[in-house]
Amino acid sequence: MLWPLPRWTLSFWGGMVLTFVSPPTHVIAASQPLMRVLVLEASRLRMRADGRNLLFLSGIGYGAEKVRAFDAVKNKDGKIQLLLEGSSLQKIILGRNSELRVKSYGQRGIWLGKRRYRGELRLRLNKNTLQVVNHLDLEEYLASVVGAEMPKSWPMAALKAQAVAARTYALKKIGKSGPYDIKSSALNQVYLGVESETSTTKRAVRSTRSLVLVHEGKLISAVFHSSSGGVTEASGDVWKYQLPYLVSVKDHDSHSPAIKWNLRFEPKKLRVIFKEIGGFKSIKTLRVSPTGRLREASVVGPSGELIITGQELRQRLGLKSTLVSFEIIPVKPSPINYSDSPFIGFYQSNVSETIDNAKSFEKENALFFMKSWRNDDLLRLNPGIRVPILSPPLPHLVLKLPPPLPPVDESGKQFSLIVRGLGAGHGVGMSQWGANGLAKKGLDFREILSYYYKNVDIISLRRLKNLSFGFFKNLVST
C-alpha cells in the first residue's frame, strides 16, 4: 500500500526527475537570460528607494546594509566615497576594485537620479568615473527598450517586430568581456528603465517571448534605425561586411517626420567644426553608396583641404543621416552695429586728457597698451586712435573697442553651408517608421521582419542550432 504524498512533494520530486533526465541545454534554455546594461557614467550620483522601501547594499562588508538612499562620489584618493542615509548618516569608503550591489524588493524599482530601474544596480569605479550597470532579466529589459524605441500608440504588429529585433540584438551582445554587455543609449538600443514600460510594450514582449531572428541557425545582427528616407541601405555600404540578410529594400516611411529636413551652418560655427583647415569655403562629394548616401567628401577651408567620411561628417555636423545634399551660400561680413555697444559715443583723441576720479582702466580688445592709473593721473592716448568713452566720466571706466572681424578668404567673402537630408539613422536593417507604415497596411510582425531582414527564420530561442551548455552559460543568470 502506498501512502499518499503531499502535492508539493510530488512537484519537487517530479522537478528533480526532469532535471536529471532532460538534456542540459533545454533546462538552461528555460532560464531567463540576464542582461548587463550600462546605464550611467558620472563623477557623482544618488540612488534612493521608492516610497517606504529600503535599499539593500552588499559589497561594503559582512551582510547587507539597509538604507533609504545614498550619494556616491569619487574622492581625491581615487576611491568611492558613500554617504548612506539610514537611521543616521554614515560615511563609507570603498576600495578601488570594490563593487557595490544595490537591490530593492519594492515593485517600483530603484531610483538612480530621475529614472527607476528593475533588477540589481552595480556600482564600481572605472578609471576615474563612477559606472553603474543594471543587471536584470532579458524580458524585463525588453519591455523598456520597446517603449523607448517606439511610441506606445503604434500598431501592435510594429511593437512586436521591435520586440523580436531588440531581443535578437541584445542576445547577440551577451557574453562580452568586461562589466557590461550593452549600453543604454542609441549607440546600441535605447533603454530608459521603468519609465518607458507600458502595458502595450509589455504585451508586445510577452506575446513574442523567446522569439529571435536567425540566419542558417545563428542569431543575426538585428540592427534597426528610425527612418531610411525611402530606401534602406545594405550593410556593406555602411560598415565593413556585407551580410546576406541586411540588403537594401524600398522603405515605407514617407509619413516619418524626418523624411525631409535641412540644417544651416553659419561661418562662425563652421570655423569651430573645421578648425584644422581654418574654417569652411567649399565641400565636394567624392563617393556615394548605391542609394545615394554620402561615403566620402572633400571639405576645403582657408588653410587646407580635409578628406572626410560620410559618417565622420555626420558626427561633426550632427546630421540625422548621410543621405544628404549641400548648398553653399556666400555671406558678406556684417557691419558692426555700434548702437548695441555698452558705451556712449566716441572720442577722437589728438590731445592729452585728464579724467578726474578714474580709479583704473581695463584693456579689452584695445589697440593700445594700458596700465592701471591712480587718481588724478594723466591718461595719454595715441593721437588719431578712435576710442569709445563713457560720458560723463565715471569713477571706474572700461574702455572697449569693437572686436576684430573674423578672417575671410581672398575674395573677402565667408560661406554658410545648408545641408538638406532624408531620413534619420544609419539606414541599415529595419526602419521603425517603415514598420509602422507596413503595420498600418495590415502586415503582421512576422511579415514586417521578413521584409526588412531577408533570408531569416523567426524561431524560439531553444531551437537555435548552436545551443550548447557553454553558450548558455553566458546567457543565463547564475
* Percent above pLDDT 90 for the chain: 63
**Average pLDDT for 57-82:** 87
Q: What pLDDT digit, counting tens, does each position of 189-220 carry?
A: 999 999 999 999 999 999 999 999 999 999 99
What torsion, rounded to 10 degrees, do the Cα atoms 239, 240, 245, 250 define? 40
Confidence of residue 383 (pLDDT cuts 50, 70, 90): very low
Whether pLDDT at 352 is above 80: no
DSSP 3-state of 186:
coil
Q: Report the pLDDT averaged over residues 350-367.
A: 38
DSSP alpha helix (H) spans, 4-150: 7-21, 24-30, 138-149
What confidence tier does 471 reach under pLDDT thresholds 50, 70, 90? very low
Does 365 have pLDDT greater than 70?
no
Cα gap 309→115, rounded to integer Å:
36
Whether pLDDT at 368 is above 50: no
Which ranges of 174-301 does DSSP label H, i.e. alpha helix? Answer: 199-207, 267-273
List, for residues 89-124, the tens digit of each pLDDT value.
788 888 778 899 999 998 899 999 999 999 999 999
* 44-67 per-residue burial string, b: 16 or more CB within 10 A, e: under 16: ebbbbbeeebbbbbbebeeebbeb
Query: How high is the pLDDT of residue 397?
Result: 43
Across the beta sheet with 304-309, what order do the strands follow? 282-288, 294-301, 304-309
Domain ranges of the chain: 30-207, 261-333+410-421
